[in-house]
Structure 1
Amino acid sequence: MKDDEALEILAKSNYGVLCVYDGKYPYGVPVNYVYEDGFIYIHSAKEGHKIESVKFFDRVCFTVVGSSQVMENEFSTKYESVIIFGRAEILQDEQVIPALRNLVYKYSPHYTDEAERIIQDFSKDVAVIKIEVEHVQGKANR
């Protein structure tokens, strides 16, 4: 699959798996996210295994499955998937506000006014992981 098609799947999918490394084990965690202009943004608590792993090792992998359908009678599956390799950084405080807004626009577009109040009240209590996409691989069986 060409990179632009893979990035379209990344942009339209609803959840992915962020894979990080803590020095002992790989760790994959399902997350909601938003993709914009070569970056993936993931809402997070300021502390925890995911954040500590990104601080330890900034290289990450992010995977999404855009669609899938088991073809029982064909012993196969139709699917489209994307794997991203990149470097992560942790945004905090005022840096998180634009990313949180983009997450709201993606997941709750009819509640932007309510979300704006929540973002203003709680943005200092959350972090955002920002991943710069360095390499993308897409694969499909349609």
Structure 2
Amino acid sequence: MFRELRRNKQILSHGECIEILQNATSGVLAVLGDDDYPYAVPLSFAYDEDRIIFHCAKAGHKLDAILKHEKVSFCVIDKDDVVPHEFTTYFRSVVLFGKAQLIEKEDAKRKATEILCKKYQPTGEGIEEEINKSIDHMQVVQINIEHMSGKEAKELVMRRGTE
């Protein structure tokens, strides 16, 4: 169903993909938008147990697209070092596909929001107050990951082989 990467020597392991998702602070969500045009939007997120969690307004283009068509793609760039004299970039990235689902139940919504908050406020300070203040004014969404792949530049692969 999902295409395999052509350059299999550049494929990142599942564990490396997870590590990138755990450490990245932003990614790009791609949905089927208005009039079936692709719509890609950067957002903050958290990875948790084979799902991506993010929040958004209770109305808007992104949410309308998800409600219309649950299948989405999400991309995270971990490394993007331009190497001018080689006319290339040394990159690492993860692309995933899944189904977006609104988190509606109050306890699940609070737990997901807490996971998201802890990623960006690791000390936990002020999280409960912020959730209480914001929870009624936002929509929390999860992407249930169905397929994930990661890839890195061949130069990084070669560098790893010599270390």
TM-score by length of 2: 0.82
Quote the Cα distance in structure 1 between the aligned partners of 2:86 and 2:49: 38
Task: Tell me what 1:13 maps to.
Answer: 24
Contact 1:59 1:86 survives alignment (8 Å) = yes
Unaligned runs of 5+ in 2: 1-11, 157-163
Quote the Cα distance in structure 2 between the aligned partners of 1:39 and 1:96: 14
- Residues 1:107 and 2:104 aligned together: no
Contact 1:67 1:81 survives alignment (8 Å) = yes
Give 1:76 deviation, angstroms: 1.2
Partner of residue 80 from structure 1, selected from 81, 92, 102: 92
Task: Tell me what 2:7 maps to.
Answer: none
Letter of the structure 1 residue corresponding to residue 98 of structure 2: G
Give 1 or 2 for the bigger CA radius of gyration. 2
SS in 2 for 1:109: coil
Quote the Cα distance in structure 1 between the aligned partners of 2:134 and 2:16: 35
Quote the Cα distance in structure 2 between the aligned partners of 1:71 and 1:134: 34
Contact 1:32 1:42 survives alignment (8 Å) = yes
- Residues 1:120 and 2:132 aligned together: yes
Q: Which has the higher strand share?
A: 1
Aligned residues with identical type, % of pairs: 33
RMSD across aligned positions (CA) = 1.3
| 1:84-95 to 2 correspondences below 5 Å | 84-92=96-104, 94=106, 95=108
Quote the Cα distance in structure 1 between the aligned partners of 2:88 and 2:150: 18
Task: Tell me what 1:44 maps to.
Answer: 56
Quote the Cα distance in structure 2 between the aligned partners of 1:50 and 1:34: 17
Quote the Cα distance in structure 1 between the aligned partners of 2:102 and 2:140: 6
Which 4+ residue blocks in structure 1 deviate beyond 4 angstroms?
Answer: none
Unaligned runs of 5+ in 1: none
Distance 1:18 1:82, change over 3 A: same
SS in 2 for 1:99: helix
Task: Tell me what 1:140 maps to.
Answer: 152
